[in-house]
Amino acid sequence: MQSTQPWYKTWFNSPYYHRLYDHRSDQEAAQFVDQLLSYLKPAPQSRMLDLACGSGRHARHLAAKGFEVWGIDLSTENIKSALRTRISNCYFEVHDMRDTFKKDFFDYVFNFFTSFGYFDSENDNYKTMHAMAENLKAKGFVLIDFMNMHKTLQTIVGKEDISKQGINFHIERKIEPGYIVKDIRFNANGKALHYEEKLQTLKPEQFKAYFNKSGITLKAEFGDYRLNPFDIDSSDRYIILGQKL
């Protein structure tokens, strides 16, 4: 029977999600965080929020640099995983990113690795951006790390098989109006299983509109994890930085 829950509540709580994406390394996260800290130069006592933190790989590295860091995620399994490896100055809680977590509390809010655009309505995107702004102190910064959707839509791989930890994942991607849908099928423990990922095809102008309506001023746009300038034709990522004024 097909689940009536949103796809992100079932898939992100599945152990197979972590198997499929086990290549997302702490080293990759650490390198990106180091680039950001070099650029932002945060004060030593800065408070930081990792919004939709997953298993906490970015949050842990931020905390290891001495900052006070919170990670929140809707997935109970992600938070359980994050808590198993937490370090001092690093706190994790289950929380919906659409709701304000700690008002006027953080100096920085980070939304890493395409953790936006999961919902079915533009209103939820605006709610998420409004919550980000409310979580920030005045003059605080928000950073969203998303795909460069212009390039992604032109280079999308339709079908592929990926073998991870003894499971062969059959993946099919298709473009629907406003979304990229990833169909994930595999067999495990004698059962045929099926999950879905659904990501909104958000463009830079939409993120700028979210910023503008939420009182966030655009400060910079980057095209990769080395913080090179964004180019709509060649960049792999769209990383947008704004400030609450």
pLDDT digits (tens, 9 = 90+) for 98-118: 999 999 999 999 999 999 999
56-3-172 Cα angle (round to 5): 70
Helix orientation angle between 204-213 and 122-135, rounded to the nearest 10 degrees = 50
The pLDDT of 134-162, averaged and rounded, is 97
For residue 236, pLDDT beyond 60: yes
**Cβ contact 136:142 at 8 Å:** yes
For residue 77, pLDDT beyond 60: yes
Between 19 and 39, where is the model more confident? 39
In the three-class reduction of DSSP (H, G, I as helix; E, B as strand; rest coil), residue 232 is classed as coil
Tens of pLDDT, residue by residue over 22-36, are: 766 788 899 999 999
Q: Which of 5, 32, 42 is nearest to 196 (CA)?
A: 5
This prediction's pTM: 0.94
The domain spans of the chain are: 7-148+203-244, 152-197
For residue 190, pLDDT beyond 70: yes
For residue 227, pLDDT beyond 90: yes
- 7-148+203-244 homologous superfamily: Vaccinia Virus protein VP39 (3.40.50.150)
Q: Helix H segments across the chain?
A: 7-11, 15-20, 26-40, 57-64, 76-84, 122-135, 149-155, 204-213
Q: What is the DSSP letter of 114?
A: S
| pLDDT of 3 | 55
| pLDDT of 1 | 40
Q: How many residues does the chain have?
A: 245
Tokens of 24: 């997302």
The pLDDT of 51-62, averaged and rounded, is 95
Diameter of the chain by CA atoms?
55
| 28-31 contacts at long range (C-beta below 8 A, 24 or more positions apart) | 28/225, 29/57, 29/58, 29/61, 29/112, 30/61, 31/225
